[in-house]
Chain A
């Protein structure tokens, strides 16, 4: 065996280990959701494949799983879209216009996301109470948007910086205003970047737990992470099978989104913009 071969085998082994390490909890989660007995690893328990966990999660009225899922999707999507819209205007200004002290501004914005959420949540609750927004979508959409803005801005700045300046020049010469350049030129060219930024913001909002726990009171605005965590309160014992079924369903939208966005990346839209 040559050195070359042994190297590539080592690399492959590393990759396999990483994948196993990352995916085994999900695998165990999926297995548990399909088993009649959550403790199927014990010697005297048979696996007993079943879809009853999924059926009871989806169909049961008392669980409200579908309501949680809908809330999560709407709140996360709204937060991601608003966050990326605002961040892209800011990113255009940072990358294209002579803004004085832009580096300082960028770090100031970044520092917003450095407060521990716990330190904010009680004030946020007070604010939402005053506004009468507790247990509404906007109670979560606004904090999530604010919370993901720095992240979106920083990612978009790096993507926008890669869009050749000559395209801006061409756009200006061809009669565009600055906003038209952003919409007609930079958005489509940086589309993969915008997609991935939106996806990251979406996943952040989709997974957020603390704010959702504090700012919602029932299934009219409660999101999935909180919903699943509170499953145990509904029955006498912890319904592991149903929790795992709910968690499995929850990962599906994220997986789909990731696949979609990957295809956008591969399209490599920026090719052929300028020479080369």
Chain B
């Protein structure tokens, strides 16, 4: 099912005045797409999910399931959750503690007054898909966190919803289980071909699960795109630093002309830009900008040279295959990811940039974002 959000806004009236949880969000989510809503806590991503589910009424805007309008306050349309056939998995699992696993999974079917025989078949199938056939007689209190999460997913898929909504479903699991459940969720979603909306604050989860990602901040969309686009072409400083781990370096710089070519002045170091990048930043000439470069796109050298930024290693974090170096330079501290294992703190090193992988951000845009 196709999911369309048009200029959706939600304002909460609180004791301390109105709070705009969602601001003018428009999204087109394709049939069968795994769509991730990503953002820091309080960015409105869960509210957005609740709006789609029908747990909250939008203040303005429109939500459509295929061609059917399910919420449009201006037109006085609002369908409650039970008329939308959506399923939701919550971070807390929200299993019914007084019912055993079978009855938990069967609950939505019982409410819909389906036949007993049909219920048994549907619950059996859902339980099989999640490998919890042996737990059907148990109470939620007798299950581990991972098992509870499986039961809540089974309860969500048992009645073949049109949209599958997940609100930070993996946050309460330990790291190992999180990775394996992540893989399984993806497989399940592919198998069932259900349009899925997934909320998370974890960019790794977003990158590995999403067909597309929407990055939110303060209730507004920052950027929408595939994981590759989000990673390679962040639109703003916020997008640049939020996605990717370790985060992208942001280095204050100035756009200037160097021997007839467009270059970035990073303190005393000038980095000449290739023509296609130069085209993009020409309008920022002589202005202060932020240069974004990922730690993995920096190269370490022992010798100083032009276009290389020099600095002192102040901390080394071994990450297994690679090491993460904290390097103090005249432009502030930067992170460098590299294979060099024979460095010690206090060493002087020289960092070169791959000019094609440099991002230039207009700080005024960043201020506008805040």
Contacts and interface: CB of A to CB of B under 8 A. Distances in A.
A164 B92 contact: yes
Interface in A143-194: 164, 166-167, 169-170, 172-177, 180, 184-185, 188-189, 191
B53 interface: yes
A170 B94 CA distance: 6
Contacts of B294: none
B97 A169 contact: no
B86 interface: yes
Interface in B131-173: 139-143, 145, 148, 152, 155, 165, 172
A270 interface: yes
Interface stretch (B27-35, B104-112, B309-317): B104-112
Contact of B96 (A172, A175, A180, A189): A189
Nearest to B145: A275
A188 B99 CA distance: 9
A263 interface: no
Contact of B108 (A174, A270, A272): A174
Given A170-B90, A173-B87, A175-B112, A269 B97 contact: yes
Contact of B98 (A180, A269, A275): A269
Given A172-B81, A175-B111, A272-B139, A189 B98 contact: yes
Nearest to A274: B92
B111 A180 contact: yes
Of B91, B94, B108, chain A has the most CB atoms within 10 Å of the CB of B94
Given A272-B140, A273-B140, A173 B81 contact: yes
A274 B151 CA distance: 12
B187 interface: no
A273 B90 contact: no
Interface string A238-270: 000000000000000000000000000000011
B95 interface: yes
Contact of B111 (A174, A188, A273): A174
A169 B88 contact: yes
A100 to B, nearest CB: 11
B144 to A, nearest CB: 11
A271 interface: yes
B95 A273 contact: yes
Contacts of A271: 97, 141
A55 B155 CA distance: 59
A167 B94 contact: yes
Contact of B92 (A166, A269, A270): A166
Of B86, B97, B108, B139, chain A has the most CB atoms within 10 Å of the CB of B97
A275 B93 contact: yes
A269 B111 CA distance: 22
Contacts of B55: 169, 172-173
Nearest to A174: B108
Nearest to B96: A185
B286 interface: no
Contacts of A191: 98
A176 B82 CA distance: 7
A101 to B, nearest CB: 14
Nearest to A176: B111
Given A175-B108, A275-B145, A275-B172, A189 B90 contact: no
A175 B165 CA distance: 15
Nearest to B111: A175
B246 interface: no
A174 B95 contact: no
A103 to B, nearest CB: 12
Given A174-B155, A272-B139, A164 B112 contact: no
Given A166-B92, A173-B87, A272 B81 contact: no
B92 A272 contact: no
Of A173, A184, A275, chain B has the most CB atoms within 10 Å of the CB of A173
A263 B140 CA distance: 20
A174 B107 contact: yes
Contacts of B172: 275
B86 A173 contact: yes
B98 A274 contact: no
B96 A166 contact: no
Contacts of B139: 272
Interface in B71-122: 80-82, 86-88, 90-98, 107-108, 111-112
A175 B53 CA distance: 11
A49 to B, nearest CB: 48
Contacts of B82: 172, 174-177
B156 to A, nearest CB: 8
Given A164-B92, A275-B92, A275-B145, A175 B97 contact: no
Of A172, A174, A189, A272, chain B has the most CB atoms within 10 Å of the CB of A174
A272 B80 contact: no
A275 B55 CA distance: 21
A174 B54 CA distance: 12
Contacts of B107: 174
Given A164-B94, A173-B55, A272-B143, 8 more contacts: A169-B88, A174-B108, A175-B82, A175-B108, A175-B112, A180-B111, A269-B97, A272-B139
26 contacts: A164-B92, A166-B90, A166-B92, A169-B55, A172-B82, A173-B81, A173-B87, A173-B108, A173-B165, A174-B107, A174-B111, A175-B81, A175-B108, A175-B111, A177-B82, A189-B96, A191-B98, A269-B98, A271-B141, A272-B140, A272-B141, A272-B142, A272-B148, A273-B94, A273-B96, A275-B91
Interface of A: 164, 166-167, 169-170, 172-177, 180, 184-185, 188-189, 191, 269-275
